Structure 1
Amino acid sequence: MSTSQRRSDLEKLRIRLDQFYLAEDIEQSRDGRLQSDPAVISSILERTGLSKGTFKYHQKALLTARDIASGGPVQVHWVPGHCEIPGNELADKLANEGASKSVPSPEPLATIAGIRHLAKDVIKSRLADWWDNAERPRRYAFDDLQPPFQCPSELMMPRGLLHHLLAARSGHGDFRAYHQRFPFRPEESRDPRCRCGESKSTAHAVYCRHNTRIRHLWPIPMVNGDKGPAPTAPASAYWHALLQDSCAFSRFDKVTGFFSGLPTS
């Protein structure tokens, strides 16, 4: 019998005797019966399997119960332990049978929900592998940009602003390098310029002097759920992070008016 079980039985005995003693009509408590496992008493009398502190606790509980019982006509009856009790014997039998069997396989059984979850993981993994190994221009491999598996937030942007975001990501837009590579007319090469007088490039938005004056108002982009570079970070690092966060890109345009052409205060 464990120490906690012994202590529990003794505590129940003490409380029950205390209830008998404090009863208003002591005669009504004459038929009360207290039951406990004799192993508790024998372990205390023989002092077997008990530490010094536990023995003293149990001994004090017994003496307290004896003193309480002396205050009234209380009858204490000891009942047998757990032996020869049908329900307990059956539980022991089943426990032994279960312990004698081999350890069950740690592999869980397949369920419909589990198969669906596994299928989604496989599709996601294969698509990611295809995306990483697909042949595409080096520009498209920009900053570990991953394909979306849900409706991307970019689709919530105004179409005009979305055009500028996709143009900046791909390099196909109203930029000097693009017009030099793909001139509209073979005999001429366009050189689009910003309102600041500098030639346009994909990252010119973070170098334009009109925008750098209000750098403190630029938003902080989120990258993979974490805060990205602050506006005070190197311009190239901030720009790469800004292209990954469509919401921050929209706020950047709202502050600077660079892409929408709206004047800022």
Structure 2
Amino acid sequence: MKCIHSPNSRTKQEAATEFNDFYDLLPREDIVIFSDGSKLANGNTGGGFVGYQDNHKFCEGSLPLGRMKEVYDSEAIAAFEGLKAAISSIESRIATDIYICLDNIEVAARLLSKSTGSSQDTFSAFRQLASTWHNGTVHIRWVPGHKDVAGNEAADKAAKAGAALPQPTGAYSYAGLRRVTKGLRQKAMNQLWSTVIPTTYRDLEIFTSPRNPKELSLPRPFLGRLIAIRSGHGDFASYHERFLHQDAQLLCRCGARKSPVHFFFCSIAKRNHPWPKGKPADILPFLCGTYEGAEVLANWTKANGFYTNICPLHLPPPPILKGPIHSL
């Protein structure tokens, strides 16, 4: 078997043009099998293949594969079934080489080597079947999908038709089981989070705990303040009093006690940079509980210097009076 023409640095359109030129120059007796896989929104999975010789379609198959498999599996199964149909066909009697063309480069590579992932039995069966072809060589060729390659488009339709057929039941593939367990894991994490969520997070309507939140891309100084707002652990009057911080500044310049959401109510800050009209219960969860709102809040606090000038960690000392001191 041979694998040729991976994407490399070409655009998909360039690769499609090159493939069509290659296809037009193939010997008339060679067989070309286009295969593809599909998974519908309802979870149904299907595979499909279409076979050509001398630009004449001589075989086609649509395979219902059930909800337990992924597109990766259906691509592999469709390639195997396509090769099996080609070898068992009457047209194979005069054929020299067989080309298996698919738009999944990972599956194309696995068809040539041992696999430790999903559909291992299918890849192994494909290699064994290909080794029985003695008329010539079985080639694996990548073809760009959805780029006006007629055979690939036909295989795509056949795969979708397979996914629309009544689905069989059976064991999960490795890829399918990974998808299911990933979904169950996330569901379990969300359920756990709903039971241990801090009150401050609940008030801000933060009901998920993503592994890599977008907020990590915010400027580091503001990210620290956002975490303080969400957790309640920061430069706030109640926090300082709880831990008996004797030298803490408990009041903002406006005279109000510092709190996680004081920025929203501060009379000095609102004087030059007012917030949009709306209820705090509606606006604060957006500003403090979402990435998009945090960006707005970061720009607002930077523009008015809220944390550096209006409500800093420590107020600057009073100015030193110059000149002679007269005693009474």
TM-score, structure 1 as length reference: 0.46
More helix by share: 1
Higher relative contact order (CA closer than 8 Å, sequence separation 6+): 2
Identify the structure with the greater strand proportion: 2
Larger radius of gyration: 1
